[in-house]
Amino acid sequence: MTTQDPTTTTADTHAGPVAPGPDTVADLITAPVVSVAPVVLPAPDRGEDLAVRITAPVAGDALPVLLFSHGFGLSLDGYAPLVNAWAAAGFVVLQTTHLDSRRLGITPDDPRYGDIWRFRIADLRRMLDELGVLVAAVPGLAGRVDGDRVAVAGHSFGGQTAGALLGARVLDADGRPGEDLSDPRISAGVLLATAGTGDDLAPFAREHFPFMNPGFDTLTPRTLVVTGDRDDSPLSARGPEWMTDAYTRSPGAEHLLTIAGGEHLLGGISGYEAAETTDEHPGRVAVIRRATAAWLRAALKVDDADWRAVRTDLEGGTEPLGRLESKAG
């Protein structure tokens, strides 16, 4: 992407997302935010202490909490285009570096490797358990956070992680649901480019990723699913439609936002000028920023005016880069 993010890995304050270019949708998320990282939580059972980034608005009170789970191989330093927008919209966003991150270098012969998907879920739960410690690490944030309003979001592998906390359960070879790993403290979620069911997994994925067989019929909290209509994963033979399973098969998923021309990184959500983005397009990212921030504000009962306006644009066909399908009224 052509915009630059001034966020660093130390405490800093910046003016929020940069104004969109001429090919983007209107983006009203401009409030300044502060980001502090790394804040380290002891995690002896994990083999690596948990490093956390906290990003929050400079002003405002009764701020809801948003847990975020990154895609395979990334870290707490990714996804600034989304994280900065969510914080500017009034959320305290918590990110961590999961064990599959490239910066940790854990290989398949590590005894933890087969359970990395479980460690990911525990990582998010640990951040919520230690919310007081994390809030205290950010100057001026204490007393401004509403820990009773919590949502979770994730991209790709992170979407499965977030989905588990919302109630999705891994099915065994006979279709029986595994352990319920949901967290009752979490009332809403956003799943971005999240893998579907294991019915049509490619042989490689079936052999190496047996946990990629989620059952969505137990995912009941309010959820927004975001997909790209060109996100054709090699892990499944079903094409982009595979990424819609969390919407079509979940009773909790209220809306499906489809990004026109979007591939797996949905225009570049993983970072400003991220090298891995194959469908770079600031406009796609701007649609996702605006829609997800507005929906989260509505879902956590902050304000629903922005979401009503976004729905009008996306359902009415006036936004060429995004289309919204809805089950709820």
| pLDDT of res. 23 | 32
Tens-digit pLDDT profile for residues 222-233: 999 999 999 999
Angle between helix axes 282-299 and 80-88 (nearest 10 degrees) is: 40
Task: Report whether pLDDT(18) > 60.
Answer: no
Tell me if 40 sits within 8 A of 49, measured CB to CB.
yes
Tell me if 125 sits within 8 A of 43, measured CB to CB.
no
Strand, coil or helix: what is 255? Answer: strand
| Rg (alpha carbons) of the chain, rounded to whole number | 18
Across the chain, mean pLDDT equals 90
Tokens of 19: 């104004």
Tens-digit pLDDT profile for residues 248-277: 999 999 999 999 999 999 999 999 888 889
Could you tell me the pLDDT band of residue 14, with boundaries at 50, 70 and 90? very low
SS3 letters across the chain: CCCCCCCCCCCEEECCCCCCCCCCCCCCCCCCEEEEEEEEECCCCCCCCEEEEEEEECCCCCEEEEEEECCCCCCCCCCHHHHHHHHHCCCEEEEECCCCCCCCCCCCCCCCHHHHHHHHHHHHHHHHHCHHHHHHCCCCCCCCEEEEEEEEEEECHHHHHHHHHCCCEEECCCCCECCCCCCCCCCEEEEECCCCCHHHECHHHHHHCCCCCEECCCCCCEEEEEEECCCCCCCECCHHHHHHHHHHCCCCEEEEEEECCCCCCCCCCCCCCCCCCCCCCHHHHHHHHHHHHHHHHHHCCCCCHHHHHHHHHHHCCCCCCEEEEECCC
Tens-digit pLDDT profile for residues 154-212: 999 999 999 999 999 999 888 899 999 999 999 999 999 999 998 888 888 888 888 88
| pLDDT of res. 6 | 32
Among 93, 78, 87, which Cα is nearest to 59's?
87
User: For 246, what's the count of Cα atoms within 13 Å in the CB-facing half-sphere?
Assistant: 39
* Residue 308, phi then psi, degrees to nearest 5: -60, -40
Tens-digit pLDDT profile for residues 71-125: 999 999 999 999 999 999 999 999 999 999 999 999 999 999 999 999 999 999 9
| pLDDT of res. 275 | 85
> Can you list the domains of the chain with their CATH numbers?
12-326 (3.40.50.1820)
Q: Is the peptide bond before 38 cis (omega within 30 degrees of 0)?
A: yes
Task: Report whether pLDDT(61) > 70.
Answer: yes
Share of the chain above pLDDT 90, in %: 80
Could you tell me the pLDDT band of residue 281, with boundaries at 50, 70 and 90? very high
Tell me if 249 sits within 8 A of 281, measured CB to CB.
no
* Residue 9, phi then psi, degrees to nearest 5: -85, 5
User: Distance (Å, rounded) from C-alpha 71 to C-alpha 271?
Assistant: 12
Q: Which residues pair with 237 in a beta bridge?
A: none
Share of the chain above pLDDT 70, in %: 91
